[in-house]
Amino acid sequence: MTDKNQERDVYVAIADPTRRKLLRLLADAEELPLYELTAQFQMGRTAVSKHLAILKEAGLVVDRKVGRETRYRINATPLREIKDWVSFYEKFWTGNVSLLKSLLGEE
């Protein structure tokens, strides 16, 4: 990711627990202003803004100006890539758990 104009990887964007919490907060609300999001963390407004910028670069967050206030909302569409990737492993675990159950049932 050397090109600044290139979109940020969704996996990199959600790797940080602070950004995952931001996504969770935005998923529970239609739209939240920066000051409300900042109130949920023990960090300053600038730090929260940097995390939101990373989420925005990955396409996970959309913002809009309302007067002097910036409001944020989630765009969950890019998370589909992660869901699809994880679903492959879900099949793996489902099969292995079924096999384990049958083996334990035979004992």
Q: What are the residue ranges spanned by the domains of the chain? A: 1-76, 77-107
66 secondary structure, DSSP code: E
The model carries a pTM of 0.78
Q: Tokens standing for 60? A: 């996970």
Beta bridge partners of 20: none
Distance between CA atoms of 60 and 74, rounded to whole angstroms?
6
Return the pLDDT at 107: 62
Q: What is the pLDDT of residue 32?
A: 97
Residue 88's pLDDT is what? 84
Q: What are the φ/ψ torsions at residue 64 (nearest 5 degrees)?
A: -150, 150
- In angstroms, the CA 100 to CA 81 distance is 29
CATH of 1-76, one of 1.10.10.10, 3.30.360.10, 3.40.50.300, 1.10.3720.10: 1.10.10.10
pLDDT tens for the chain, 107 residues: list them: 444 434 679 999 999 999 999 999 999 999 999 999 999 999 999 999 999 999 999 999 999 999 999 999 999 999 999 998 888 888 778 777 777 778 787 76
Eight-state DSSP code of residue 36: H
